[in-house]
Structure 1
């Protein structure tokens, strides 16, 4: 079986094509899935680059979608031929977050989906959205579910709310589509006027180039006539949090889901407290939330924004494209 692995020392250049034993047939409660698509996330890049340590020879990619080839005894949720998509936390089925970190996350603590086939518990997958191909389906596992949980599950987004999104990567483009689906008004930032133009085409109501407007939090605040936005999907981390707090309303909600500007930094606690802002750390979501997201996608007709797609054998090139920051939306991988 063909797989892609990451060698040592960690680097994009250390990604190589290798052969592994076929996983065989599924046991009780398991399914065998022929994998056909994935999408890249910052988390995957961090594993490949060594920013997140993992075992030598790790098979990367947390997102995976494909077709059920066979089912083990006792499996009734799936049948042969079903298109399925992986869960980021395969052991977190429902309820509140559980301890464990990333030790059971595919492509991190365990092998991921950059391979031809897998045999895993049926509970490590959900049905894919109807009509999605494998690459589109794989886009929901990490980025899509993160945006859904941030806005709908924990943010309790409702029609008429205002939302601020940072950048135009996978999470933010998903969040833009979800917010518009729910009847919200959306502001979005980018360093690229061309990307902001594309965001407008997806329904963004207000755009701001943060390279041209350093005090972009105030610009968003002014756009809301001084009231502030109801929700912020904060993917930057310490380098952007102060501006996000400036932009949010009193009693508003900030979903802290990214560390693109680093993992440590100053937090303007006085502003956070005086505005009584709810600052919530979010890491993807559970299987039940993914099933709810899939139902919403089935009834909405929205599809992920895919910047480009690479063959599995060109996975290193896909990561180089991600590292360049030039993409808009998701980067797909197909085989």
Structure 2
């Protein structure tokens, strides 16, 4: 396959992305070529567009994608032409404990990402698409849903557990949906009653407006008869971590997964952590094995991501601006039509 395709490239941070024509090179052993059909939009992509994430320039941005295998290289046995696949965030981290080397490679950051009509990648970095999802829905899974899955695994969440999901962005709504599939009870926080209403339709058991209740950790304790939550998935960081720590039970877990409220230092209520044996741990998406486990769980439970907006792939910068302004609910996706 030596025909041409198109890609959007970031030439310099802050400048408009440029559409370029490319030619498909011959596949090397272990590689596959994917016809990209959907691209997911994350807050991470906003940080990338601003130049906060170093990497070679120009490069094709966007970490998350999904599509159809169009060609397989020598030695590839796991995939066949026509298979539907999704990307992974850390393709070198196949499984096991995290190390600096295993998370040194991220599509869209360290090398070309998914904002292109075709992408060549290693066969072992792909995951089978849950068959009930379309490609844009599937493209919303890699970063956000795997982060949610890893957080639930960290907290040992199962039937009867209590989980706090913070906000109505992609990670938080996946926390809600995946936790419910495990039989957990979910308390969801938002500053918008309208967004809380949507969360209720997705299965949230309790809804707390944190503007009305700024000491929302007290609401969590009230809803749990004074015990506290088993897990709080903290997507905001600096301004919310103290309340997250106060909201969990003795021996509970706070998964720190984002920095939406700021990347500075947070107050750490040390006595709460120490005297109540609270675990505060960071979650950086997950391994390829975690991606596979998440996708399998999504397939079994029949979960559909909540996509509030979709754009044509050439409108990626407008989609990122929407996510940066928190104008979405759940996920935002990009549609990549079949290349001519």
TM range (shorter): over 0.9
8 Å contact 2:132–2:302 — kept in the other structure?
Answer: no
Equivalent residue number for residue 188 of structure 1? 188
8 Å contact 1:217–1:246 — kept in the other structure?
Answer: yes
Q: SS at the partner of 1:319?
A: helix
Q: Per-residue displacement from partner, 1:233-287 (whole Å, max 9, x unpaired)?
A: 1111021001111111010011111111122222222222122111111101111
Equivalent residue number for residue 72 of structure 2? 71
1:179 aligns with 2:179: yes
What TM-score comes out, normalization by structure 1 length? 0.95
What TM-score comes out, normalization by structure 2 length? 0.94
1:205 aligns with 2:205: yes
| 1:23–1:102 distance in 2 versus 1, CA, 3 Å | farther
Q: Which moved more, 1:277-286 or 1:17-26?
A: 17-26
Equivalent residue number for residue 240 of structure 1? 240
1:144 aligns with 2:145: yes
8 Å contact 2:11–2:18 — kept in the other structure?
Answer: no
8 Å contact 1:2–1:17 — kept in the other structure?
Answer: no
Q: SS at the partner of 2:334?
A: strand
Q: SS at the partner of 1:65?
A: strand
| 1:101–1:43 distance in 2 versus 1, CA, 3 Å | farther
Q: Per-residue displacement from partner, 1:151-199 (whole Å, max 9, x unpaired)?
A: 0x32221100000010000000011001111111110111111000111
**5+ long unaligned stretches in structure 2:** none
Alignment of 1:57-206 (within 5 A): 57-100=58-101, 103-151=104-152, 153-206=153-206
**5+ long unaligned stretches in structure 1:** none
Equivalent residue number for residue 17 of structure 1? 18
**How much does 1:298 deviate?**
1.9
Return the match for 2:9 from 5, 10, 14: 5
**How much does 1:55 deviate?**
3.0
Looking at structure 2, the residues matched to 15 and 175 of structure 1 have their Cα atoms a distance apart, in angstroms, of 34
8 Å contact 2:131–2:299 — kept in the other structure?
Answer: yes
| 1:70–1:101 distance in 2 versus 1, CA, 3 Å | closer
Q: SS at the partner of 2:180?
A: helix
8 Å contact 1:162–1:184 — kept in the other structure?
Answer: yes
Q: Which moved more, 1:245-254 or 1:52-61?
A: 52-61
Q: SS at the partner of 2:22?
A: coil
**How much does 1:101 deviate?**
7.5
Q: SS at the partner of 2:310?
A: strand
Q: Which moved more, 1:18-27 or 1:40-49?
A: 18-27
Q: How many residues align?
A: 331
8 Å contact 1:4–1:15 — kept in the other structure?
Answer: no
**How much does 1:102 deviate?**
5.4
Looking at structure 1, the residues matched to 283 and 24 of structure 2 have their Cα atoms a distance apart, in angstroms, of 33
**How much does 1:100 deviate?**
3.4
**How much does 1:22 deviate?**
2.1
Equivalent residue number for residue 42 of structure 1? 43
8 Å contact 1:221–1:228 — kept in the other structure?
Answer: yes
Equivalent residue number for residue 258 of structure 1? 258
Looking at structure 1, the residues matched to 86 and 279 of structure 2 have their Cα atoms a distance apart, in angstroms, of 32
Alignment of 1:273-288 (within 5 A): 273-288=274-289
**How much does 1:327 deviate?**
0.9
8 Å contact 1:102–1:108 — kept in the other structure?
Answer: no
Q: Per-residue displacement from partner, 1:74-94 (whole Å, max 9, x unpaired)?
A: 111110001111110010111
**How much does 1:131 deviate?**
2.5
Alignment of 1:290-329 (within 5 A): 290-329=291-330
Looking at structure 1, the residues matched to 122 and 200 of structure 2 have their Cα atoms a distance apart, in angstroms, of 41
**How much does 1:64 deviate?**
0.8
